[in-house]
A and B are shown apart, each in its own frame.
Chain A
Amino acid sequence: MSEDTVQFRSKPIKEVFESLKEVRIGGLNESEVGREAVERLIPEILSDREKIELYEMYEGNEISEDAVRIALGDDFDEMERMIEDTSEMAEKDTSRYLSE
């Protein structure tokens, strides 16, 4: 596996980290904070178009479920369940739902 490092620490972010080291009890795991921050923000900063494309890549088995879940955030699970529910309902004999 390649050891890609994403440099996302601008000067002020570095400063936050440096100061946090002093403040936070038990020290600071910069990578963990960075990872959490990126994971949370990705769904917010992706455009709808990008999300569709990533979802389509997932449907075409080009990217993993874990990846698409990060990209779409909470939307992913809601969407998956709704699609599942719709399919299951559509399999039924819908004539039972007609009014008498």
Chain B
Amino acid sequence: MAGSLLIDTDALIAVGNTDCWEAVFHEVGLTTTYVVKGELERHIKEGKNSPEGSPDWYRYNGSRRAIEGVDSGSISLINTVPKPHGKDAGEESLRTQVAQEGDRYDAVFLMDREGRECIRKTADSNGYDVKIPSPAFPLYIAYDNGLLSKKEFCEVNQEIIENEGWTGYRAVKVMWEGIPVDCSAYVEPDYLP
């Protein structure tokens, strides 16, 4: 049986700001927590009137599309106990979930490096084999199942790297490596590993 795919607020927002968000949020089965949903709703409320292109708007735009995925039933929600609060509550709720029910999950998607390390440690110390792949993987699932063309998949990855302001070698590597698609025909060399 396939395990679920867990995704955090930032990874939802990153996908939500690409042109291919519908292929992921309507077609790929993702799981997140009610705490993450709460964060998305807060971003929507806080960013609603912000100027287009600003960081608040970016969070608003990605969040409202992710909520659409929740409403369509493609993104399912789970409850976590205890319910964390504060700045990293969303991420913490994923960590709690991995600690308590890690065997339910095949993979977790996070944009933030510290978050990835933290969840990895939690999975390891609880003896769960939970993968932490590239944040591009949900898009790869869409591509691999014919929902995105190769060109779309490649361009959308570049879009995420640009949107996130990822310029470091590590970020670019982390985004692409291990994904068995040659994007060199569609992506500028600066954005490839």
Contacts and interface: CB of A to CB of B under 8 A. Distances in A.
Interface of A: 48-49, 51-52, 55, 75, 78-79, 81-90, 94-100
B84 interface: no
Contacts of A85: 107, 131-133, 178
Contacts of A97: 2, 5, 28-29, 106, 141
A94 B134 CA distance: 15
Contacts of B55: none
Contacts, number: 88
Given A87-B180, A94-B140, 16 more contacts: A48-B170, A52-B169, A78-B113, A81-B132, A83-B173, A83-B174, A85-B133, A85-B178, A86-B179, A90-B178, A95-B144, A96-B2, A97-B2, A97-B29, A98-B145, A100-B29
Nearest to B180: A90
Interface of B: 2, 5, 26-30, 73-74, 106-107, 113, 116-117, 120, 131-134, 137, 140-141, 144-145, 167-170, 173-174, 177-180
Contact of B116 (A78, A94, A96): A78
A100 B73 CA distance: 9
A49 to B, nearest CB: 7
A22 B26 CA distance: 68
